[in-house]
Structure 1
Amino acid sequence: MRTGKSIFNFTNRNQRFLLILILMMSLFGHSQNQKITDSLVAVYESGDYEPEESLKLLRSIAYNNPDPEESLKYANLMLEKATEWDSTHAEFRAYLQRGNAYEAKGDLSQALDSYLNAADIVNELGDKIELGKLYIAIAGAYSGMENRTSVITYYTEAMNLLKDLDRENYATAIENFGDEYLKWDKPDSALTLFSESGPVFEALGNEENLAFNIGNKGLAYALKGEHKKGEDYIGQAIAKMEEIGNHRPICTYLIAMSDIYAKKNEWDDAFEYSLRALRLARELGLKAEIGNAYLKLSELYERTGYSRAALDYFRMHITYRDSVQNITEAQKMHNNQMARTQVAIDLLEQKERNQRIIVISTGIALFLIILLALSLYRRNRYIKKTNEIIEREKERSENLLLNILPEKTADELKKYGAVKADKLESVTVLFTDFLSFTKHSEQTDPELLVNTIGTYFTAFDDIVESYGLEKIKTIGDSYMCAGGLPEPLEDHALKMVQAAFDIMDFVEQRRANRKEGEPEFEMRVGINTGPVVAGVVGHNKFSYDIWGDTVNVAARMERLSEAGKINISESTYMLVRNHFKCEYRGEFEVKNKGMMKMYFVLGPLSEEKESRRSASILSS
């Protein structure tokens, strides 16, 4: 049996008052506060406190820190000092916070191990409330591993322990258990549990848990097909979470909103909610939520006929799903102390067997040394050839990087290991789109369709490069490029319009000379000019991309264009009007921007047409 010591011995009245004030602020409520964390870290690093007070400081820092890595760092420091001071309560809380930090990182194996260590200590202390709260955490870890049996067991144990002792945490166990029924596609059972936990949170004035309750009800109604009711509840939950400052669950609710709009075939709103979830998850570094957002975008693109984009997003989802560490290992962990003791016994027996194996291994090692000596001779013969292969692969990697990123950006990435995002005040962005592509994709042989689209995009790449412009990406059958980045480009708007005419010419020539059975495409183009933010996203798979209203408006220009036409915004028109004939179309409603003036570009003002590269590309 472990024993605890009293660890608080304040000697300075002013110092004691200041520290207690900060610690009380840090432990009030459930939301994490970066300002409080910074204040606590400053106090801790100053050393201006009694040594015994460090445990409570470290606990508050670990509890409030929004960065899982930093939270884990201070939880480990707390565990070291708790062991040094022989403080059983502090040791338990250190293990608990370690588990929370590991779970936030997605390392479920380490999280579960920490929670079980904490449970061992609480069992010895006989604290039923803390044990019930730990069972809630353990059930949550098993939920991430999709171990349904353990989830039911631990939530049931938690509710039995907390029912007559702690109303708030009893309600939390019910709420979380209801959330599991949502995952198991049982919305009616979930709503039954939510209807029991919600009034408790409301009576206690717990706004954050009440927000969870409202959002979970919305998910349940959406799952039942009652979309309007679900949308109303989820909208209320998002508003409350934003007000409170707890952004992690907002990602889940945004994905749910995307589902609701997708079921109503309102695709713009469905994509917008999924993209909002992805942006928020990236900002917060939430791996599981990033993976969920990628999966939802993959489903949306698949349902709207953009198979290539759907595949790209699904691959990104798999990458993030696999980054949740050691799930298979964690699922094999034992659920009780007896099993943990058996593991220790097995290890002792293994140690005895290992000692017997050492003698045999020594003889084998001598034999292997002889084999190694012989292999070294052969290895030296291949060193030169291997070095040549490495050089070729290095050159290949350099060329591949330049195909993915602009040269300046690639150089910066190689030199510093990262690329700083740039805000560029004047950039021209172009979008293209093939009309009736979905219809062709359903009626045309897939291999022929992919080869045809590849021919078009290869030609577009050559045209864009010839004008000093930068290809950004392709999204399904849509092609996106920009001028004026990463380095400023003189007359980028003029060059973009010239490139657009060359692209249109190429498409028309392909239509005129298409082979039998080859799909016939018509294309529309949209262009806009303005400020953007540009940078590199991704860690293992780099991608150069741009963001901002300028990009969104350019996409809207393309959607509001017509077959065979180049539609430009007023900002682009002001830069090209002295060089190109433009036809004013009037003002059109643009989502999130209001009414905007638009123009069709008809051709150069001069009778002498500028050189076009499309014909040479086609003939080659």
Structure 2
Amino acid sequence: MRFNELRICITLILVATFLQTGFSQNQKTADSLIAVYETNVSNQNNLSLIFKIINESLNANTKLKFSNLLLEKAPKDSLKLQYSGYLQKANAFSEKADFPEALECYFSSLKYAEQTKNDAFIGAALIGIADTYSIVENPFNAQKYYLEGIEKLKYTNDSIKLGYALYNLGDQYLKTGNSNDALSYTKEAGHIFEKLNDVRALAYVDGNLGRVYAEKEKDELALEKINSAIVTLEKFEDYSPISEFLAYMADIYAKKGNIKKALTYAYKSLNLAQKYQLDDQLSQTYLKLSNLYEVQGNFKDSYINFKQHIAYRDSIANLENIQKMSALRTDYEVSKKEAEVNILQKEAEISQLKARRQKAAIYATAAIIFLISLLAWGLYRRYKFINKTKIIIENEKKRSDDLLKNILPEQTAEELKQHGKVKAQKIKHATVLFTDFVGFTRYSEHLPPQQLVESIDYYFSKFDEIIGRYQLEKIKTVGDAYMCASGLHNHSSNHTHNMLLAAMDIVDFVNQAKATNTQLASNFDIRVGVNTGPVVAGVVGTKKFAYDIWGDTVNVASRMESCSLPGKINISHNTYKIVKNEFDCEYRGKVEVKNRGIMKMYFVNSKNNITSNLSPDQTNNSLA
């Protein structure tokens, strides 16, 4: 039994609390803020106002619209704003029951949360992912992300968020039949809510404890807990869980053999579900009534309730593959139920015939029931297999897409997927960087292969992290040489500036590693060369394809590296003209370059400390 509305509500409570402390959702306030936003053009770039509108709004469509605006207008390197935008977008999709989109946005928010290293942010994203997986009935992933999220929330000292997460994990274990873990986590949540004096949450805990005790065949204790939950929730007029708890009491009395009392509780559940239009609970209660009437031998009412169950169940199904098969499945299941009812009715008529025909008729009926059950089981197994196969195919496709995006830039990967090939591009203004380890050949001759690879991986992994931070594009590595570029897809005016910042970070990291990391088998010095100018970019090959760039700019950047000195960043005159006001550059004079003649070169010593060079993330810290 799953409380979808409660699960979504808990997720939104967690998220709203994580993002800020001063807001409480109020649609009237949201409407007034929207009016301010729309009537004043200058406010349309006010990220603080957009953020307030999202948090005050109760309308999923409004929340989705302004979450997209926040993501569009916020700086890409402002981790907190990107995290907040994706998390609020996920909440909006979740309210709209578009769970695949919600899941994708939760994963995007988790990516930015992990970069902030904030346990509260990471915990909120993980619990959102877990709740979504639970709703779409993926128990393995749901349990995995609940446990990870709870581990993060334990370090936030926020009991209410931790309590809700523990409750949801207990409910998830109960759905998968693990009553021991369900009992443990539900009780742990109850201890937290008891300290907080949260009466409503304690009622949910009592209800789930009742379900757990029923699974453990402790029926009296189960009835006591469920009755306690119902009494409390009636005070809050929270009728959806009351309807489900009443249905569960019907199950308990049916197991005891008291069908009359079971029917009484089932109809109480049905009346509440009809009164408050709880379609999901209506479907389950009609099925329960069908089963109870069948046990009584009242096949007519059993058949009527079963048809109602099928109608409501298919009206609320929201998975694409179920929607496509709903008509066929409804016809099949109704016809199967008709066949079963007809067989049972004929069995009752045959029982009135002569005794010598009764035995043969019963055997014939049993054989027909067995064949129908066998057919139903086979169809059910096939249905499960098709669904499982679809999920595997979707997961493998996502893995393939992710792998492609790791090999190629995202825009290039999308073009390759859509057209099967990539057109070469001429970029008028790009910056290219080469690095090379000094004395690498000498080291490689004396080191075992494993240690050599570990040393190179140690450095290149950090280089990957640095260029990712500055939104640069890694091109390739050749031996101990590392090549990257900027301005290929993101044609911002400061891409050369970002490239030199990355180069300085690389040199600082190598120097620091040489001074402090004595565990490495080898410690290198590094040369760095940078040049700016036009390049041609494209994909070569058909099997092991690779993204690469060509042109005179690339050749000159390589020469800048080979003419550099250990621990130095050597740049060309083209690059110097762009960054001379932003960095402290030392003129080296004109240097003889192989196959190039005489060229002006400069060492980059440091970055000038001026206000205009603040990064977008620093500029927006006050807003975020």
Is TM more than 0.5 here? no
Larger Rg: 2
TM norm structure 1:
0.45
Q: TM-score, normalised by structure 2?
A: 0.45
